Amino acid sequence: MSVQTAVVVGVGSSAGLGAALARRFAKEGLRVMVAGRTEARLAAVASEIRDAGGSAEAVVADATRETDVASLLNEVGQQGTLGLVAYNVGNNAMIPSLEINEAQFETMWRQNALGGFLVGREAVRRMLPQGSGTILYAGASASLRARPPFVAFASAKAALRAVAQGLAREFGPQGIHVAHVVIDGVIGGEYARSRFPDFVVAKGKDGLLAPDEIADAYWALHRQPRSAWTHELDLRPFREPF
């Protein structure tokens, strides 16, 4: 019997969204591959999942490198079938428009639009022969609206949304479910707590999105029947204005 694999691209701290997604998918019995650029963090998340009784392995990969992406997804085929891919790459940065340099702007585009396309393309190539599979992209408030000082980030996230929409329209009729999740708020993981502690405190109880609860929504998307697929889902704390 072929083992179904979930690949989570963009896994960092155990307290972050990538790790929460990996734990959720492993809990459902999928073999999980956690991918990212920091070996120590990946190993810690994979070990945590195995200690809880799940199946997980860590793979160091840069989503903006075509060869890394192909190699990562080739590993899936050696042990099972690719059932689910979650793309969670792309850090935010608060930079006024007149201070954004070329390298910063391009880096954000590469992490979001280019990496998202490469992972989506390679995932689709492996899912088409089986006629099924799910690709889930992590978006942000900035996917829908650009506000200073986040112009570079917004342009990159908007481009990622376009990638997701294009893939969904092209490959949905062939059995590939592509969905874009707009995270309309701040995720209560290590990234926000370490970099914006005052902001986190100001948000108060229930002011941040819980990574494990976001992961529940991702799993629900993966489990949707074909007759009623969601392409775009927005998630926010009940106290978040929109």
With CA atoms as reference, report the closest residue to 165 among 178, 177, 174, 175. 178
Please give the mean pLDDT across all residues of the chain.
93
Region 127-154 average pLDDT: 95
Lowest mean pLDDT segment, chosen from 6-10, 87-91, 121-125: 87-91
Q: What is the pTM of this model?
A: 0.94
Name the more confident of 153 and 194: 153
Position 15 pLDDT exceeds 60: yes
Write the single-letter amino acid at 50. R
User: What integer pLDDT is reported at residue 192 of this predicted model?
Assistant: 65
User: What integer pLDDT is reported at residue 196 of this predicted model?
Assistant: 67
Q: Under a CB-based contact definition with an 8 Å cutoff, are residues 164 and 180 in contact? A: yes
Position 1 pLDDT exceeds 60: no
User: What integer pLDDT is reported at residue 36 of this predicted model?
Assistant: 97
Domains of the chain, residue spans: 3-235
Half-sphere exposure of residue 101, counting CA atoms within 13 Å on the CB side?
A: 1
Confidence class for position 77, pLDDT limits 50, 70, 90: confident
Provide the angle, in degrees to the nearest 10, between the axes of the packed helices 211-222 and 17-27.
50
User: What integer pLDDT is reported at residue 207 of this predicted model?
Assistant: 83
Question: Which CATH number does 3-235 carry?
Answer: 3.40.50.720
